[in-house]
Amino acid sequence: MSDTTGETPADVSKRLTESRGYSYPEWEYLAERDPEFLEAYNRLSGLGLLHDGVSSEEGKALPAKYRELVAIAAMIGQSRMWGVKAHMERALRVGCSEREILEALEAALIPVGSPPFRQAVNILMQVVGWKPASER
């Protein structure tokens, strides 16, 4: 099965992975089973996070890097840690500094609580390659 543009499911999955910098098995499944829905989902996500087909931030008050910080905070608030790493990596690619991500996590501490905060800090440590002094 292919989508309406003639792409194969593998092409659709590859395009999404390249545009976002990460992938999920669910996208591959949707690319095979319902590519039209996946395209609509990707377009909506692109409008929210300013990626894939929404290449310009012109006219947007909130740049992509800050949108990624919002997504990260929302994900840790819901304990959806499976996507936090990918969004941290994308945040760095679109111009966030490590410090900005850390401060977003700190801002989320009180609303989300200590366990999700600590998990998110651990993910950030992995993303930036930080190691304890005993391992350096």
Same domain assignment for residues 42 and 86: no
Same domain assignment for residues 136 and 118: yes
Long-range contacts of 42-48 (CB under 8 A, 24+ apart): 42/16
Same domain assignment for residues 73 and 120: yes
Residue 125 CA to residue 90 CA, distance in Å, equals 15
Tokens 């006219």 appear where? 59
Q: What dihedral do alpha carbons 120, 125, 126, 129 form, nearest 10°?
A: 160
Same domain assignment for residues 35 and 63: no
Same domain assignment for residues 9 and 35: yes
In the prediction, which pLDDT does 48 show? 84
Same domain assignment for residues 40 and 83: no
In the prediction, which pLDDT does 5 show? 62
Same domain assignment for residues 130 and 102: yes
Q: Which domain covers residue 45, as residue numbers?
A: 1-55
The CB-side HSE value for 5 (13 A sphere, CA atoms) comes to 11
In the prediction, which pLDDT does 111 show? 94
Same domain assignment for residues 63 and 51: no
CATH number of the structural domain spanning residue 133: 1.20.1290.10
Residue 73 CA to residue 71 CA, distance in Å, equals 6
* Mean pLDDT value across the chain: 87
> pLDDT tens for residues 10-37?
888 888 877 776 778 888 899 899 988 9
Residue 46 CA to residue 58 CA, distance in Å, equals 14
Token reading at 70: 């919002």
Same domain assignment for residues 50 and 75: no
Same domain assignment for residues 68 and 106: yes
Residue type, 30: L
